[in-house]
Amino acid sequence: MNHRTALITGASRGIGRACALALAATGCRVALAARSREKLEEVAEEIRRTGGEAFAVEIDLSRPESIAAGITKTAREFGRIDILVNNAGITKDALAVRMKQADWEIVLDTNLSGPFFAIQQVLPAMMRERWGRIINISSVVAEMGNPGQANYVAAKAGLIGLTKSLAQEVGSRNITVNAVAPGFIETDMTHGLTPELKQAMIERTPLRRAGKAEEVASAVRFLASDEAGFITGHVLDVNGGMYM
């Protein structure tokens, strides 16, 4: 049983929820963050029913002051945060020529700046303790590009650059910083896609199926563990071979 505390953003559904359940199963206390408290409480209840400890906290990742307040509240509740999983993300798709400035900015703010400010908040305690795990959820499109998603792709690619720079900055303090880049995963976010588009994505995937949120969570759980202590600055692809 470990006594580490993990904070997962975007934890109310999909990959974030799966990460929260996976880390709780290893004995971590989990802080669940998202904009809607109601959905978070459902996940927290699920974790408590299996004997785990969970705490729900509202955080709007597009607002640095919301991130600071939420992380302060979590630290008061659970002590320091040992593991940060930057998973929350939004999409506002449009071709670049027609993309509105507001849609560019909110996606960059939520998907790239938000994770950076969250990292800034948890780093001092990790550095004092000389132990930490930062895991950024990027995307296969960060590596291969995707038409109609210039904002999302730029943000997710930015997360990979951030991961590598940070890994070099904090490695001497025994803090690892890694990214997980999921491919086509069956979640609420992809639920709305047309059957044709889903089929096209599956055909581009050598394993010929969509991934499960739990398969991404397994990679996160590994990177958060002591077993992954000598892995840092790495991008772990969980994409069924869609990009190699």
Residue 152 among the catalytic residues = yes
DSSP symbol at 148: T
Q: What are the residues facing 149 on neighbouring strands?
A: 94
d(CA 13, CA 63): 21
Of 69, 171, 77, give the one whose Cα is nearest residue 126: 171
Annotated catalytic residue, options 55, 78, 131, 152:
152
How many separate helices (H) and strands (E) can be counted in the chain?
10, 9
User: 29-34 and 54-58: which strand pairing?
Assistant: parallel
d(CA 212, CA 215): 5
The answer to whether 30 and 53 have CB atoms below 8 angstroms apart is yes
d(CA 232, CA 184): 24
Buried b (16+ CB within 10 A) or exposed e, 151-184: bbbbbbbbbbebbbebbeebeeeebbbbbbbbbb
Residues in CB range of 154: below 8 A, 6 or more apart: 108, 112
The set of catalytic residues is: 152
